[in-house]
């Protein structure tokens, strides 16, 4: 696998450019509308113990500091948007450039972080994961289905009336819970119950940038007006609901990963996105309220950790013992696309399950093209072939019409026909709506080259199906050839319903973001993958399943795809593991999920990459696909303390101030740097980047510590699968534990020979370090990246 060094540099430039946009004065994007009045939002970190005693609270102190700024500024006095006191110390406010400069000069101010705007990364999965209620010794029974664990979902809110959130047969709300149910538009405080025990919303950052919320289109309350948050919450902890389906598809029992876990919804995402100041406020509240797990299916551009509000909030949560799961992003299948890459966050990519929804295209030349769709409504006439058109081939506005953008299709050209639409720009379901408005009877949605062969099943508003890039090209060629003949092109779509026990599965989803980690390549990201393609989960009223405004259908469940759907699978599993092992840290839970993950599909072969059909790699799936049953009893775990993360940041040459911004801890990096290098963080995976610089031989080492969580007297033997072109040794080769909880160290040495590469390119090879005692198998990926500098 090869990646260009130029690509890496370009990614960094893009990240820095995106960051600098917060200081630019010429942008029409929503996140910069506040430039009109000379201000923008900053998250301000302060030294909390510097508060003068004259101020009764930190909020009073912060307000006084802001008031003092306005006296020397012509702009309006700034006001506090949020005060942070749990995962972060400080506040957020909208500041003019001069006010920001003044505030930065105050001795008690540690840093000012420009606000970013994030976006959401948008059942059979419990059974596919092996979570069966009939298993007497399974993870569900062992953890009492996650009872009394609290999962905080930071997202678009929740629709509380769904059966997935009923509280029948649940015990009292855990006594540790300190949260609240906040009333707002169409959301009464009594809508919370023993299942949904908390609901809050955070909009000050959004409204500071965009002005007062339009309450005719959004709920100024925890109520979900998008659907994404309801969907992710029910994946993490939805109750058992039967019967469940989406428009007749995927019929069966719907259930989340931790059916008895309690839920707390923190709404931070609005029509213009999810604002950092609001996200950080949600993290602050979730930890103070008593959440055990935080699930975040939101992401954005990758920036250094000290400028990343999600990384900062997640560190504060991890430091408090709260597990944080975050989506890897939907930027795949290209490399260097993974987001939410902080090592204290469990980063989740997406895979398929063994269920799909075939909807094939039958062409007039007799060819049948495989497709995928969730469509329920008036169908195409059985046995009838319809005229087939690719709008670009009919002489209209080629680019817009080929994409089926709004207003681009001529009724004269498409009425009564099936229309081929290229994927891109507008949403997949919106293209179908455009075709329908123009009088088309059906749509074939064709992937582009970048999308590859990955197929997403959408709830279309007219008979429609999705096809891959190669088959899309075949259909276009057929249209071109047939149009020149005496037999005009024709087609129909054949919907085949729900198919289960599909092989191969799992497959790495085409859209799932890939490594390498653009921020710290020594930390393999994503960590794991989980089900994220065509996942059935709860859905609100008043929002059609296609997401198109004209779609007036109501359904209690919807089928969505994205790493957004994969993330709450892991959040729910983390709650189950925490319930079964209350003493495990967030790092131990992640270790259990990673070292027991698998990389083979249900054929017994290495998982495939959906976009290409080729074998996938560690850059696609990280440690592999989660295996809940094995994660309950991993044998050994790689634990990490907060100060280990501080040492990691020291070895990454972060300044003392940078580290304090992220961790709230004053760091002395002299000792930490003597401990080794960034790759020596006690992570369950091992990754090294060698810069060749004309060298023939290169070497490094890793120090790791494993904790025995298996039998009291266990002896583990190592098995090494070295990456191609390397020599790997492990010392010692045998670890003998005398008791549970005992920690032992081992040393991994890696020797590599230079490979022939063109300037600016890289090659990636992988292997593994496996410890086994005959009962447990503890697997760590070992990745070696060779870079040829420009």
Give phi and psi for 743, each to the nearest 5.
-110, 135
Q: How far apart are CA 784 and CA 423, in angstroms?
A: 35
SS3 717: strand
Burial of 550 (0-12, 13-18, 19+ CB in 10 A): exposed
Residue 638 exposure: Cα atoms within 13 Å on the Cβ side: 23
Burial of 26 (0-12, 13-18, 19+ CB in 10 A): exposed
The DSSP output letter for 633 is S
Is the separation of the CB atoms in 235 and 569 below 8 Å?
yes
* Of the candidates 639, 770, 773, the residue with the CA atom closest to the CA atom of residue 344: 639
* Of the candidates 755, 756, 759, 765, the residue with the CA atom closest to the CA atom of residue 788: 759
Answer yes or no: 642 catalytic: no
Answer yes or no: 569 catalytic: no
The DSSP output letter for 184 is B
Q: How far is CA 23 from the centre of its chain?
A: 27
Q: How far apart are CA 346 and CA 53, in angstroms?
A: 40
Q: How far apart are CA 309 and CA 19, in angstroms?
A: 13
Q: How far apart are CA 192 and CA 181, in angstroms?
A: 6
Q: How far apart are CA 122 and CA 129, in angstroms?
A: 21
Long-range contacts of 630-633 (CB under 8 A, 24+ apart): 630/596, 631/139, 631/573, 631/577, 631/592, 631/593, 631/596, 632/139, 632/142, 632/576, 632/577, 632/580, 632/592, 633/710, 633/776
Label residues 141-163 b or e (16+ Cβ within 10 Å = b).
Answer: ebbbbbbbbbbbbbbbbbbbebb
SS3 298: strand
Q: What are residue 553's DSSP bridge partners?
A: none
* Of the candidates 776, 767, 766, the residue with the CA atom closest to the CA atom of residue 591: 776
Answer yes or no: 564 catalytic: yes
> Catalytic one among 11, 82, 121, 155?
155
Q: How far apart are CA 583 and CA 9, in angstroms?
A: 42
Q: What angle do CA 616, 619, 621 make, to 5 degrees?
A: 65
Is the separation of the CB atoms in 405 and 425 below 8 Å?
yes
Q: How far apart are CA 444 and CA 437, in angstroms?
A: 16
Helix axis angle, 586-595 relative to 563-580, nearest 10°? 110
The DSSP output letter for 76 is P
Burial of 20 (0-12, 13-18, 19+ CB in 10 A): exposed
Cis peptide before 504 (omega within 30 of 0): yes
Q: How far apart are CA 493 and CA 381, in angstroms?
A: 10
* Of the candidates 93, 254, 30, 285, the residue with the CA atom closest to the CA atom of residue 178: 285
> Catalytic one among 82, 89, 166, 228?
228
Is the separation of the CB atoms in 785 and 688 below 8 Å?
yes
* Of the candidates 211, 270, 213, 269, the residue with the CA atom closest to the CA atom of residue 36: 211
Q: How far is CA 356 from the centre of its chain?
A: 22
Label residues 602-638 b or e (16+ Cβ within 10 Å = b).
Answer: eeeeebbbbbeeeebbbbbbbbbbbbbbbbbbbbbbb
Is the separation of the CB atoms in 139 and 633 below 8 Å?
no
Q: What are residue 398's DSSP bridge partners?
A: none
Burial of 553 (0-12, 13-18, 19+ CB in 10 A): middle
Q: Residue 758 CB: number of other CB atoms within 10 A?
A: 10
Q: Residue 60 CB: number of other CB atoms within 10 A?
A: 13
Residues across the chain: 790
Which residues carry out catalysis?
155, 228, 564
């Amino acid at each position: 696998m090869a990646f260009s060094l130029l690509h890496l540099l370009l990614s960094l430039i893009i990240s820095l450019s995106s960051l600098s946009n917060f200081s630019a004065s010429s942008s029409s994007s929503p996140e910069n509308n506040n430039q009109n009045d000379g201000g923008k939002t900053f998250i301000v970190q302060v030294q909390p113990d510097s508060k003068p005693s004259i101020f009764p609270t930190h909020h009073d102190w912060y307000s006084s500091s802001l008031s003092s700024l306005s006296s020397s500024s012509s702009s309006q006095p700034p006001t506090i948007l949020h005060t942070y006191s749990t995962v972060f110390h400080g506040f957020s406010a909208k500041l003019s450039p001069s006010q920001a400069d003044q505030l930065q000069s105050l001795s008690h101010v540690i840093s000012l972080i420009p606000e970013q705007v994030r976006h959401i990364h948008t059942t059979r999965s419990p059974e596919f994961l092996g979570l069966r209620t009939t298993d007497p010794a399974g993870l569900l029974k062992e953890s009492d289905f996650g009872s009394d664990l609290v999962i905080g979902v930071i997202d678009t809110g929740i629709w509380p009336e769904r059966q997935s959130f009923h509280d029948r047969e649940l015990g009292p709300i855990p006594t540790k819970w300190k949260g609240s149910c906040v009333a707002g538009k169409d959301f009464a405080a009594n809508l919370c119950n023993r299942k949904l025990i908390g609901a809050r919303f955070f909009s000050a950052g959004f409204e500071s940038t965009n002005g007062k919320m339009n309450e005719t289109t959004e709920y100024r309350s925890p109520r979900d007006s998008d659907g994404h948050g309801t969907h992710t919450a029910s994946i993490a902890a939805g109750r058992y609901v039967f019967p469940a389906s989406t428009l007749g598809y995927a019929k069966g029992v719907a259930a989340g990963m931790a059916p008895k876990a309690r839920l707390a919804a923190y709404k931070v995402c609005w029509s213009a996105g999810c604002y950092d100041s609001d996200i950080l406020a949600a993290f602050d509240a979730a930890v103070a309220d008593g959440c055990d797990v935080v699930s975040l299916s939101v992401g954005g551009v990758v920036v250094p950790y000290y400028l990343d509000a999600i990384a900062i909030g997640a560190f504060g949560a991890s430091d408090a013992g709260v597990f944080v799961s975050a989506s890897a992003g939907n930027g795949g299948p290209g490399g260097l696309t993974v987001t939410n890459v902080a090592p204290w966050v469990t980063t989740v990519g997406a895979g398929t399950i063994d269920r799909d929804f075939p909807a094939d295209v039958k062409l007039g030349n007799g060819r049948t093209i495989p497709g995928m769709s969730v469509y329920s409504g008036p169908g195409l006439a059985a046995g009838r072939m319809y005229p087939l058109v690719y709008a670009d081939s009919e002489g209209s506005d080629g680019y817009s019409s080929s994409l089926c953008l709004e207003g681009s299709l001529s009724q004269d050209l498409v009425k009564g026909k099936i229309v081929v639409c290229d994927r891109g720009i507008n949403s997949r379901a919106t293209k179908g709506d455009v075709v329908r408005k123009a009088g088309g009877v059906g749509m074939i949605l064709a992937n582009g080259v970048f999308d590859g062969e990955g197929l997403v099943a959408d709830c279309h508003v007219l008979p429609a199906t999705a096809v891959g890039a190669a088959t899309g090209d075949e259909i276009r060629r057929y249209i071109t050839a047939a149009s020149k003949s005496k037999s005009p092109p024709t087609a129909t779509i054949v919907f085949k319903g729900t198919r289960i026990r599909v092989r191969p599965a799992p497959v790495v989803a085409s859209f799932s973001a890939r490594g390498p980690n653009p921020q710290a390549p020594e930390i393999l990201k994503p960590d794991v993958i989980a089900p994220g393609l065509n996942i059935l989960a709860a859905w609100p009223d008043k929002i059609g399943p296609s997401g198109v405004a004209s779609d007036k259908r109501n359904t209690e469940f919807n089928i969505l795809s994205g790493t957004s759907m994969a993330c709450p699978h892991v959040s729910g599993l983390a709650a189950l593991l925490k319930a079964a092992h209350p003493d495990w840290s967030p790092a131990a839970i992640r270790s259990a999920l990673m070292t027991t993950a698998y990389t083979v599909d249900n054929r017994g072969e290495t998982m495939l990459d959906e976009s290409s059909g080729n074998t996938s790699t560690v850059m696609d799936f990280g440690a592999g696909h989660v295996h809940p049953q094995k994660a309950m009893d991993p044998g050994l775990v790689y634990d990490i303390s907060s100060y280990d993360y501080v040492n990691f940041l020291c070895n990454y040459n972060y300044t003392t101030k940078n580290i304090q911004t992220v961790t709230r801890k004053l760091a002395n990096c002299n000792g930490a740097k003597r401990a080794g290098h960034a790759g020596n963080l006690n992570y369950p995976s091992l990754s090294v980047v060698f810069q060749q610089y004309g060298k023939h031989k290169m070497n490094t080492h890793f120090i790791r510590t494993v904790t025995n969580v298996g039998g009291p007297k266990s002896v583990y033997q190592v098995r090494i699968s070295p990456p191609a072109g390397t020599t790997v040794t492990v010392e010692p080769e045998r670890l003998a534990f005398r008791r549970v909880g005992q920690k032992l160290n081992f040393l991994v040495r890696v020797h590599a020979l230079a490979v022939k590469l063109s300037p600016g390119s890289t090659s990636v090879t992988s292997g593994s370090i496996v410890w086994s005692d005959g009962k447990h198998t503890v697997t760590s990926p070992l990745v070696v990246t060779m870079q040829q500098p420009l």
